[in-house]
């Protein structure tokens, strides 16, 4: 132990203090012959914790990273339209999958390294299985073609999620669902949930022809009197925005997912009403206008 007088003598003579002094208990801060009690207590705590740390076998490198991906098995494969395949996924060990809500999606990690988002279109809140549906786009980015060709019943599938950025509100008393083609995937569970809650709702489902409208039978089966089906080949034209939004008032909450022209038309029409509730998802990024992506602030989130 180094005497406090020695420390003072070194300080007065401007001579460097030996390192051993700093490993000892500190002298009194006010140059008293008695040691500073508070500083001595801190030194004791530091020594005690240091001893625990030295005796511990904890090694940061042994901490397991958080697993973000999950493995599922394809347990069902069904063609729900000429160019749309539905895949049913389940836990490989028969366990429960993570909970999800209508409008939710998963991120699929394809064998090629691509990642694609697909809306969950099974029964709302069901955890024994997930279902996704994929429209094959021959001239797209390759993801949809790979999804059609890479997975058969029994194959493993790696995914992340589910996530949800297109959720169904619980405080909206009047709902209108506008569906275009494969945009049915996030909307179908919403319709089923609204029916279970007893919420007032109706839907407009538009497509080229009835046989090219995936999951049409399931939409109609929820409540056929509340669903208007618009097939272009039956009407000889595309639906107008009035056909899609007919009867929707300024307080009606509109949920829409479909091709960009449909979405843009609905957005423009709803913009005429201040604060009209509008929720949507896109098939693709926003269109480019004057060299920049157009934007909207009424709740558009993610991609279909």
Tell me the pLDDT band of 47, cut-offs 50, 70 and 90: confident
pLDDT at 46: 81
pLDDT higher at 13 or 296: 13
Question: Does residue 103 come out as left (phi exceeding 0), alpha (psi in the -120 to 50 range) or beta?
Answer: left
pLDDT higher at 294 or 207: 207
Q: Is the pTM of this model over 0.85?
A: no
Section 127-137 average pLDDT: 96
* DSSP annotation string for the chain: ---HHHHHHHHHTTPPPPGGGGGSPPPPTT--SSPPHHHHHHHHHHHHHHHHHHH----GGGSPPPP-EEEEEEEEEEEEETTEEEEEEE-TTS-PPPP--TT-EEEEE-TTS-EEEEE--SSTT--S-EEEEEE--TTSSSHHHHHHHH--TT-EEEEEEEE-SSPPPSS-SEEEEEEEGGGHHHHHHHHHHHHHHT-EEEEEEEES-GGGSTTHHHHHHH-GGGEEEEEHHHHTSPPPHHHHHTT--TTPEEEEEE-HHHHHHHHHHHTTSTT--EEEEESSSPPEETTEE----SSEEEE-
256, pLDDT greater than 70:
yes
pLDDT higher at 101 or 285: 101
247, pLDDT greater than 90:
no
62, pLDDT greater than 90:
no
Section 236-264 average pLDDT: 94
293, pLDDT greater than 50:
no
Termini Cα distance of the chain: 73
Residue 210 corresponds to which tokens in the numbers above? 């009835």
Section 29-57 average pLDDT: 71
pLDDT at 125: 84
List the single range of 19-23, 58-62, 161-165 with lowest mean pLDDT: 19-23
List the single range of 55-59, 232-236, 240-244, 262-266 with lowest mean pLDDT: 55-59
pLDDT at 27: 54
pLDDT higher at 140 or 286: 140
Section 168-174 average pLDDT: 93
């Amino acid at each position: 132990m180094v005497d406090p007088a020695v420390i003072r003598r070194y300080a007065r003579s401007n001579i460097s203090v030996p390192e051993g002094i700093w490993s000892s208990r500190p002298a009194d801060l006010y140059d008293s012959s008695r040691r500073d009690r508070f500083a001595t207590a801190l030194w004791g705590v530091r020594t005690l914790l240091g001893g625990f740390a030295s005796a511990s076998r904890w090694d940061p490198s042994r901490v397991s990273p958080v697993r973000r991906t999950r493995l599922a098995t394809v347990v069902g494969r069904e063609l729900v339209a000429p160019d749309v395949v539905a895949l049913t996924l389940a836990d490989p060990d028969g366990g429960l999958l993570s909970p999800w809500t209508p409008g939710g999606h998963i991120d699929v990690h394809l064998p090629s390294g691509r990642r694609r988002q697909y809306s969950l279109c099974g029964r709302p809140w069901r955890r024994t299985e997930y279902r996704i549906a994929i429209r094959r786009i021959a001239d797209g980015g390759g993801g949809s073609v790979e999804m059609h060709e890479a997975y058969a019943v029994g194959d493993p599938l790696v995914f992340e999620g589910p996530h949800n950025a297109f959720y169904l509100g619980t405080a909206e008393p009047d709902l209108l669902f506008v569906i275009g083609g494969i945009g049915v995937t996030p909307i179908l569970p919403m319709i089923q949930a609204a029916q279970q809650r007893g919420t007032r709702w109706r839907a407009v489902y538009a497509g080229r022809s009835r046989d090219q409208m995936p999951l049409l039978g399931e939409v109609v089966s929820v409540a056929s009197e509340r669903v208007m089906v618009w097939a272009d080949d039956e009407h000889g034209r595309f639906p107008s925005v009035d056909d899609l939004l007919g009867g929707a008032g300024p307080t009606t909450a509109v949920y829409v997912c479909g091709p960009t022209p449909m979405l843009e038309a609905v957005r423009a029409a709803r913009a005429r009403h201040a604060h009209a509730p509008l929720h949507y998802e896109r098939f693709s990024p926003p269109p480019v206008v004057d060299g920049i992506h157009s934007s909207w602030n009424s709740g558009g989130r993610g991609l279909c």
